[in-house]
Amino acid sequence: ESGPVTFTYPPMEVEDIGMIQPTGLMIGGHVTPIDHGYYSSKNWKSAVRELKDFVDVLAPADGMIMVGSMPKEFATSDIGDYRMTLYHTCTFYTIYIHVNQLSKKLQEVVDTGKKVKVFAGEVIGRAPGFDFSVHNLDVVLPGFVDPASYSVEDWKIHTVDMFEPFAEPLRS
């Protein structure tokens, strides 16, 4: 299939959300507008990552997910740090970064390149906070002087509004 889907679950339970920072910030080591938002739980602390502070990370819609370990230089925790790409269709997907624990079935495919079927609302991991972005290969953002310069991070020119796919009243 291709094209966008509607998200029927949040990536973090609504009652666990402490703050959401949207895409587009230019902070820290980001030298271009950031292509992902940040979900932080009410338990999030910047310096401490304790298991008791972790909350469930959810799939917002059905799809096939692939999981890789974050390189050590970008890792935010020694408990575990993973990057997950959840393909909802062949052209529409979400990326999660800095998820610290994985569901049992995802632990079995880390760094294998294999994809696993997950369902809307399924717990795919746990973390006190994580990066979240939405990408649509049918959309190319306007305004890039040289889109070819993004070939190493080719998803960036296909980043779409991270709130748009959510069904109401979840979006609001």
Q: Please tell me the predicted confidence (pLDDT) of residue 26.
A: 73
Q: Please tell me the predicted confidence (pLDDT) of residue 23.
A: 82
d(CA 36, CA 24): 8
Q: Which residues contact 130 (CB under 8 A, 6 or more apart)?
A: 11, 12, 38, 39, 57, 96, 97, 98, 99
Which range, of 18-22, 45-49, 84-88, 166-170, averages the lowest pLDDT? 45-49
d(CA 126, CA 129): 9
Q: Is the pLDDT of residue 104 over 90?
A: yes
Average pLDDT over residues 119-135: 95
Percent of the chain at pLDDT > 70 equals 93
pLDDT of 17-34, one tens digit each?
A: 999 988 877 777 766 677
The string of DSSP codes covering 13-32 is: -GGGEEEEE-TT---TT--S
12 CB burial (10 A radius; 0-12, 13-18, 19+): buried
Confidence category of residue 46, pLDDT binned at 50, 70, 90: low
Q: Please tell me the predicted confidence (pLDDT) of residue 25.
A: 75
Q: Is the pLDDT of residue 137 over 80?
A: yes
Q: Is the pLDDT of residue 47 over 60?
A: no
Q: Chain-wide mean pLDDT for the chain?
A: 89
Q: Is the pLDDT of residue 163 over 90?
A: yes
Confidence category of residue 146, pLDDT binned at 50, 70, 90: confident
Q: Please tell me the predicted confidence (pLDDT) of residue 63.
A: 98
pLDDT of 64-100, one tens digit each?
A: 999 999 877 776 677 789 999 999 999 999 999 999 9
